[in-house]
Chains A and B, each alone.
Chain A
Amino acid sequence: MDLTTAIADHRMPVPVSSLIQLSVPLVGQTVHAGFPSPADDFIEDMIDLNQVLVQNPTATFLWRVVGDCMIDVKIFPGDVVIVDRSLAPKHRSIVLAIIDGEPTLKRLHRRGGVFVLQNENAKLPPFLISEGTEVSVWGVVTATIRDLKK
């Protein structure tokens, strides 16, 4: 089963850790008995989507995007973002922030020791945090998944 089928097939429970099993053979095909395959010496490992998408499955969670505050960096409503809680947010990280109890995606900027959160959508007003607003970083966004069949 490939990743997009997994996303499309809602009946299939797919915990993040099982992404490990979503692998594609690099050099494949069964070899018929009697004929040594010249490809045998070249069989490598399988391509593992986790290697690029999920560095730390234990601390990785998936969130569904419903807002449009990041469309300028091509994160659209309906996308799934991969969020790693074990990564320390850095200057220009895209983070899942909790602002007054509301989970939302923002770009994190560090300006002279002060962290600022910003939308990436020219049509939206610049994001301002008023006094008394509670802000925390839930995790760092490492990748997005978009189903192109929809």
Chain B
Amino acid sequence: MTAFALVDGNSFYCSCERVFDPRLEKRPVIVLSNNDGCAVARTNEAKALGIRMGHPYFQIKDLCRREGVVALSSNYALYGDMSRRLNQIYDRFSPDVEIYSIDESFIDVSRLPVKDRTTWAKDLRSTVKQWSGIPTCVGIGPTKTLAKLANKVAKKLADGVLDLSGSTERERVMADFPIGDVWGIGPANQAKLAAMGIQFAGQVRDLEPRQARQLMTVVGERLVHELNGRSCLPLETVPPVRQGCAVTRSFGQRVTRKPEMEQAVAGYATRLGEKLRRHGLATDQVTVFMHTSRFDDDEPQRSVSMTVDLPEATNDTLTLIKASRRAVDQLWKSGYRYAKAGIVTQDLVPPSGSQQALFDGLDHERAARVMQALDEANKRWGRATVFPAAMGIKREAFSTKFEMRTPRYTTRWDELPECR
């Protein structure tokens, strides 16, 4: 019988901040998305004030001031390092760990006797708290879907651990577990199920697999099996090959001039090239998009995109910039206040696996050497020490806003936390 544990950090980003600034301990804290757009992490105190996940910051600014909510910009250097530490601790508790997201990991506990699983989870939880300062919850079940479900319920329990290995306990919990909180049921399927009078996980479990398939494709059929304790989703300890890659950003200020847009998009192309090279992948097409903000509802709206095909798969920054520039040329129209732009690629391939273009081929070797030098310089002296001039010299206009970011406490010598 398979068994999985799902461990996740409670209000993970906020908890990371609290480890290094203990004054945040009793206060409501929220962490904002890129460009301080909306709340992406909230402590319980902030949730109690009615701040929702994804709540736009400009809507809650006054509330935050009034109630003393500490709003912070995302500090990904810190969260990434803390996540790495958490997974190092999990590795001591099991050889089979799948890092699912920055704050969630699945751990295979099949070989652990059922009677020992709760004690094991409590040990893991207290070790993580002691070593890293991050509070976590652990849910255990015979399938990933049930481990997720157990974790959701564990969040409300005093000891933060729930083992649903036993079928009696499972049935009891699923009887009133809302379908909207089941892993894999999105708003669309939730609406479909609700229309049939299905509100709780237990009712989804009792669906005929074939009926679930008609309703929600294979995903629905798999879901019914998973809720019945038949595991369909194995542990993925090796990350799957990336299908696509995207670099998209909201602008710090609206962009109204074409050169600014060209520079911003050149910056995204540069970042895309870095990402592709790091993963040893390449792409043979890029899609560039740009749009205005729906929050500027008294202004003209525009949302456009364009795909440019490359003669052959590449991860060369300069080629990617050239292609994305062509797209900006075609897409650009003045008179709009653009709020966001980005580059998206699909069907990534290893650079060697691509068909070499017969004509118009790229000079691979030279390009690869330039890119290697670029990557090494930026690795040594920090991101964007060396960058293509196409990105422009003054980049504040579209650079990401991190006005309320805390120090990068664990990755920079000059930003270490301070003590008296």
Which residues of A line the B interface, CB within 8 A?
A: 6-7, 9-17, 56, 58-59, 61-67, 69, 80-81, 85-86, 96, 98, 101-105, 138
Tell me if B420 and A15 are in contact (CB < 8 A).
no
Q: Which residue of A lies closest to B89 (CB)?
A: A58
B413 within 8 Å of A (CB atoms) = yes
Looking at the complex, which of B110-118, B126-134, B254-262, B270-278 is the stretch in contact with chain A? B126-134
For the side of the interface on B, what is the size category? 20 to 34
Tell me if B416 and A64 are in contact (CB < 8 A).
yes
Tell me if A101 and B22 are in contact (CB < 8 A).
yes
Q: Which residue of B lies closest to A13 (CB)?
A: B411
Tell me if A69 and B131 are in contact (CB < 8 A).
no
B418 within 8 Å of A (CB atoms) = yes
CB distance from B82 to the nearest CB of A (A): 10
Residues of A within 8 A of B210 (CB): none
With A13-B411, A61-B410: A105-B88 Cβ-Cβ less than 8 Å = no
Q: Complex Cα distance A50/B89, Å?
A: 18
23 examples of A-B residue contacts, CB within 8 angstroms: A11-B382, A12-B382, A12-B413, A13-B77, A13-B408, A14-B413, A15-B410, A15-B411, A56-B131, A59-B85, A59-B131, A61-B409, A63-B418, A63-B419, A64-B418, A65-B420, A66-B420, A67-B419, A69-B420, A102-B22, A102-B23, A103-B417, A103-B419
CB distance from A100 to the nearest CB of B (A): 9
Residues of A within 8 A of B25 (CB): 101
Contact mask for chain B residues 284-312; partner A; CB cutoff 8 A; 1 contact, 0 none = 00000000000000000000000000000
Q: Complex Cα distance A127/B190, Å?
A: 59
Partner of A66, one of B22, B411, B413, B418: B418
Which residues of B line the A interface, CB within 8 A?
A: 22-23, 25, 77, 81, 84-85, 88-89, 130-133, 380-382, 408-414, 416-420
Tell me if B417 and A6 are in contact (CB < 8 A).
no
Partner of A105, one of B22, B133, B417, B420: B420
Tell me if B413 and A7 are in contact (CB < 8 A).
yes
Tell me if A62 and B416 are in contact (CB < 8 A).
yes
Residues of A within 8 A of B22 (CB): 98, 101-103, 138
Q: Complex Cα distance A96/B130, Å?
A: 14
Partner of B85, one of A58, A102, A104: A58
Residues of A within 8 A of B414 (CB): 10
